[in-house]
Structure 1
Amino acid sequence: WEGSLGAEAFPSPGELQRTLQSASLLLYSGISAFLAAVEPHLVAPLSLPRLQCAILLDRADNEASYRAQSKLDTSTASATLSLRDPFATCALLSVRGARCVVSNQWNTDASSNHARCIDLVAAILQGGESVGGAVASTGVGRVKAYRDAVAAAAAAHRAHGEAEERRSVREREREERAALKAAERERRLEERRRLAAERAAAGEG
């Protein structure tokens, strides 16, 4: 694997251009749309006959990244924005010579994108599947199962937290009742002492 790996630095448009021209397979995993990272006018003049497959795992926006990208897009031409549509992106890369393009059709989240990336790469490199077969076997059903598992784990964590909170409430209530009983016993004991003292004083008188 060559190119920009890890999260230390985001590849520049020039790096993405060079990678597109030199790679036989491009795996792009990012938050914004692919053509937000490298502008369409930088891709349009490229000749990409070596690019056998481009896998674009983009559109994993969160609230902060969406707001930041929206601010940048206020000064972006509408024609440029329209090319960020997944079908338009695939068409542009295909016209420039890419043999196969795989792209997220809808927005997703980082955890689902990560799971899809791992499954796709494993299916292609270890399972020996074609790109189409890998996409079919790691598609919506697999991602839904992953999301369901994450949701179930989150629900179990919430249920555990709620049970712990209820236990803590019961424990506090038990301690409060015990404290009230102790205070009542002390009050009664003090009352008996006071009455005994009054009787003793009356006897002496």
Structure 2
Amino acid sequence: MNGRCRETVEQQAYITRFLLDYTAVPLVGRTFLRGVLPTRDAVRIVTGAADAVTPDALIAYEVPLTDDDNEPVTAPLVLGWTRTLVAGAPPHTDTAVMGMDMVRVDTAAVEPAPPARTDQVLRVLRTLAWPFVETPPSPALCGFRFTGQDGMRLYVAVEKADGLVAADVRLTGALTALLAALPALVHEEERWTIDESDPYCVRAVDLTTW
């Protein structure tokens, strides 16, 4: 993995970590985070109702990873831009990805919403519960999406795969054991398949029956 790719993976993982709480806390009103899709030089923030999983019930906002000065964008800015867009009128777009309407965000033209009180509470709790560490989790979680009421697809960076591996998991069953084993399982090449329907991964691993 070259330096540029590594920087992209690290930034996508940082944004994903920052936004995870908004799968349970609304972004705006009754709209929640339903996925983060990592793509070249951008993240696609997937939004919808708390239980939305079908593409026609979701909207993805593509946010570039750098600003006009080629500086990395911060996760709070990504959150602010997403909030502004979600709070406005439903966007009109002719672009779709995996069946979802997709809006490419011109960050220079969108005023980010200011932090909410909930954001400040989460900042305090995150800092105390998950203090910053120099060594990030491995493999890095660069994105995710809900695939059903009992399923998720996790996008993790696996260096020898030369890209992201998508791991399908169930949210019930022996979840503690699965999470402990997942870093090793996604490296087992004999488990890898190719999912041509998913442009966000180079390999896929089905761990739903593990």
TM-score by structure 2 length? 0.24
Greater strand content: 2
Structure with bigger helix share is: 1
- What TM-score comes out, normalization by structure 1 length? 0.24
